[in-house]
Structure 1
């Protein structure tokens, strides 16, 4: 059932993005009286799941969910249908239109992608507000949940002051800024400490498979008690452990240091259950553990416990417009920085490039419209940026040739465009194989 929820969100988001992207090509093509022969969601290699001809256009749904396309008459595209080009140019064909019209048609898809992302961010800001955890409200600092961050010197209890010289106002942005960053300044017991991040930090972090790099510090709330736990008859889910061996325990990250020296011993402990304090005895196993997994405290409950301040900035519709646009611009900049890291072999970030399985795994196994729209907006930005890359067969490649034509006054020959399309198609296939190959490799090796 969880897989079906993830799959439903994945297909809905992908379908929405593809249809709107292709609509971005379709509308200006029709406005400039250019014939559109096909409009397809997904690819229809050999056969279609559905198709219907309306006017001069065949609308359909293919069986291969790797994208979609519009087939515009007189244009060399991914269909590689060059038969039409052997005929004299017709007034309704793409190649017969002025360069500026062809440029608008080619830029239509990515334009829609960026507009869609900004519209979603504006709508979410207006409907949900702008929610965040104020970094300054983490009175006892952070919980470092990643060994790779511990290896570079960050410690639980540190208070993050700045990342790359910029003051951190929102804790929610910390993980992304750290991954993209070079230096963290923290307050450790009242003294400032500088922590340098290695150039290949993003690769190191991904290898550890930490679910999160850092979190707000959390009290020890018992989640699951394992079947082989020596304390399965003593502890219950949702128990708060407040002391171990007569030492007060405020946060879960303090537990290991207390328990490791006490392996195979019995110790007194205090728990809070149903708002009552109870004294119990716990058995520590040979590994210095008590056999339970912690549970995360919900954000609203964490705020009530005074762990941090959960802030929500509310905006009218008019106010949400500049805020949403600014949010979209920041996401666009972040994605640009990620591409820069991927392009630098020293970072090892290229090893984390993922394909359709990686996108599928972004979606949660529960239905949340707020999360769905957040992911869809980000994917829309990614789709827009990727399509602008100057690779033949992508929109960016067509735009590059059109700009050359407009500047030089010379139009590349149909034969050249045909060869360029073939080269671009080979590059795209190679990129797809690399990205999805990474997915398969990680699935097999667990790395």
Structure 2
């Protein structure tokens, strides 16, 4: 069942990505020969609106084959108003960007659905208080529920950290303890901490940790929209930074995962709950969007760079350079895929 869920989710994400390309291409009058879910031998196909819609044997991706554009033949040129290569560079950039953009939109829709179904988060309840910390000195105790900081209403644990970091000076905490509301003034101190990439950082802290209590957020329609926007932006930023840290060597290459890791994560999420499945699908959708925007030849981001070059210099890269960079891009992608699979297999053997 987990494998089926993985293939369905992956096909769903690929469909939306390629649908973005398809809609933008048709908007600018580009003929789309093939819309494929999967690669390799054709398993099922149907002709509709001048396009062959098909499922192929290897369901790990997909593509739209436009007139005048073919990654397997980078030097391809076809004449006509309905050809990709006769369109202006800015039009081609929109067609290329539309795929990743569709993934971001899909993620936002999924996060919005999660918000309406009942997104969960840590409660604003204190678990432990570090000895001699500002919170300890102010008299904060375990199980205290934080209701407000200065004039900011607090509904979840995340909001506590954001408020502490973004507010200067001493803070007035309004807490609930044994049915009573108590006010405490706390002066945060700059302390050593770690970010999500295990890097040493300095930040304003008061020395408390969450109790681990989970609450369901009751969000209105507008609040759900804000929740979806913020989650999509946060996921995008996190993945962009993750790629940057991987290149810098902060994140070891052993952390790179492949299709096996993705499949396991999706399978585990599907067994947990529909909300968990939606959440991991949204995250992978953002991941797909971000990675496709990387300036690597053979990816959408690489082709966008080629077109930006053409817009600035008023000339296209030579066929030889275009072909070399595209092949180089495929080598990079192939190497990353092999690295991911190698790491997945290593993890399997280490866990057994």
Q: Do both proteins adopt the same fold according to a TM-score greater than 0.5, normalized to the shorter chain?
A: yes
Q: Does 1:121 align with 2:119?
A: no
Q: Does 1:16 align with 2:12?
A: yes
Q: Does 1:100 align with 2:90?
A: yes
Q: Distance in 2 between matches of 1:311 and 1:199?
A: 23
Alpha-carbon shift at residue 446 of structure 1 (Å):
3.3
Q: Does 1:392 align with 2:276?
A: no
2:121·2:156 contact (CA, 8 Å) conserved in 1?
no
Structure 1 residue aligned with 2:148: none
Local SS of the residue matching 1:92: coil
Q: Distance in 2 between matches of 1:72 and 1:312?
A: 46
1:133·1:172 contact (CA, 8 Å) conserved in 2?
no
Q: Distance in 2 between matches of 1:446 and 1:7?
A: 20
Unaligned runs of 5+ residues in structure 1 are 142-156, 160-166, 175-191, 203-214, 217-306
2:104·2:286 contact (CA, 8 Å) conserved in 1?
yes
Structure 2 residue aligned with 1:326: 230
Task: Check 1:416–1:309 CA distance in 2 against 1; reply closer, same or farther (3 A cut).
Answer: closer
Q: Distance in 2 between matches of 1:341 and 1:168?
A: 32
Task: Check 1:73–1:123 CA distance in 2 against 1; reply closer, same or farther (3 A cut).
Answer: same
Alpha-carbon shift at residue 200 of structure 1 (Å):
8.3
Q: Distance in 2 between matches of 1:348 and 1:406?
A: 35
Local SS of the residue matching 2:257: coil
73, 81, 87: which is aligned to 1:80? 73
Local SS of the residue matching 1:138: strand
1:139·1:308 contact (CA, 8 Å) conserved in 2?
no
Alpha-carbon shift at residue 115 of structure 1 (Å):
1.0
1:40·1:68 contact (CA, 8 Å) conserved in 2?
yes
Q: Does 1:352 align with 2:345?
A: no
Q: Does 1:34 align with 2:24?
A: no
1:414-443 CA distances to partner (integer Å, 9 max, x unpaired)? 443222221211111111111111112222
In the TM superposition, what are the counterparts of 1:179-328 in structure 2 within 5 Å?
A: 201=198, 309-328=213-232
Q: Distance in 1 between matches of 2:215 and 2:333?
A: 43
Structure 2 residue aligned with 1:54: 48
2:45·2:55 contact (CA, 8 Å) conserved in 1?
yes
Structure 1 residue aligned with 2:185: none
TM-score by length of 2: 0.74
Structure 2 residue aligned with 1:136: 125
Local SS of the residue matching 1:41: strand
1:273-326 CA distances to partner (integer Å, 9 max, x unpaired)? xxxxxxxxxxxxxxxxxxxxxxxxxxxxxxxxxx76543331222231122211
Question: How many pairs does the alignment contain?
Answer: 294
2:74·2:322 contact (CA, 8 Å) conserved in 1?
no
1:200·1:349 contact (CA, 8 Å) conserved in 2?
no
Q: Distance in 2 between matches of 1:171 and 1:381?
A: 21
Task: Check 1:366–1:200 CA distance in 2 against 1; reply closer, same or farther (3 A cut).
Answer: closer
Unaligned runs of 5+ residues in structure 2 are 131-141, 145-153, 162-188, 200-208
Alpha-carbon shift at residue 37 of structure 1 (Å):
1.1
Alpha-carbon shift at residue 389 of structure 1 (Å):
0.4
1:93-116 CA distances to partner (integer Å, 9 max, x unpaired)? 111111121111111101101111
Q: Distance in 2 between matches of 1:132 and 1:30?
A: 42
Q: Highest Rg: 1 or 2?
A: 1
Alpha-carbon shift at residue 171 of structure 1 (Å):
7.2
Alpha-carbon shift at residue 7 of structure 1 (Å):
1.8
Local SS of the residue matching 2:271: coil
